[in-house]
Structure 1
Amino acid sequence: MATYGVAEAKNNFTHLLERVEAGERITITRHGKPVAELARPTVPAKLAGDERLAFMKEFARRRDARPPLGMSAAELVRDMRDEGY
């Protein structure tokens, strides 16, 4: 796995994306400590037929397993706005 400092990664971003597209993982560091990792997405960009259905079922299963938030989306947005997020 290749490692780049923030400034170097910024200056070579397009090149790094090409390497990631080819399957490589890139670690970005700040002051020698890892802060981010560039990698290809784990979910294919396009799913067809049975793969798409299986993905959507798994997504719904995980969504339904989470506890309810206890407020509506509008209330959540209002709270975030009022608290300055």
Structure 2
Amino acid sequence: MNIEVGSYEAKTKLPELLRGIQAGNRYTITLRGAAVADLVPAEADKHSDAVAAVDEMLSFMRVHKSVGGIDLKALINEGRA
């Protein structure tokens, strides 16, 4: 549920709003009637996304072996010419 809250009310009732977020509410903070910010729950676990990305990269590297005999430094220098 998204609830509009004025900036003054958000300032004075921040602990109450945070408890509401823990309960699943979302708040849009307004300033003179215009939306300026959203108060939403933090993302749960960014660490697991990073771990999954590393696992995918390692799997890719195991399947796609590097091609031997290529001078990477020479290719880099060739691109700079």
The TM-score, its normalising length taken from structure 2, stands at 0.56
The TM-score, its normalising length taken from structure 1, stands at 0.54
* Equivalent position SS for 2:25: coil
Alignment of 1:57-76 (within 5 A): 57=53
Question: RMSD of the alignment, in Å?
Answer: 2.2
| CA distance in 1 between partners of 2:21 and 2:3 (Å) | 10
Aligned-residue sequence identity (percent) comes to: 33
Corresponding residue of 1:25: 26
Please list every run of at least 4 consecutive aligned residues from structure 1 whose deviation after the TM superposition is greater than 2 angstroms. none
Deviations along 1:51-81, whole A, 9 cap, x unmatched? x2xx1118xx8xxxxxxxxxxxxxxxxxxxx
| CA distance in 1 between partners of 2:32 and 2:13 (Å) | 18
The gaps in structure 1 that reach 5 residues or longer are 62-85
Distance apart, 1:44 and its partner CA: 1.4
Aligned residue pairs total 52
Corresponding residue of 1:11: 12
| CA distance in 1 between partners of 2:31 and 2:15 (Å) | 19
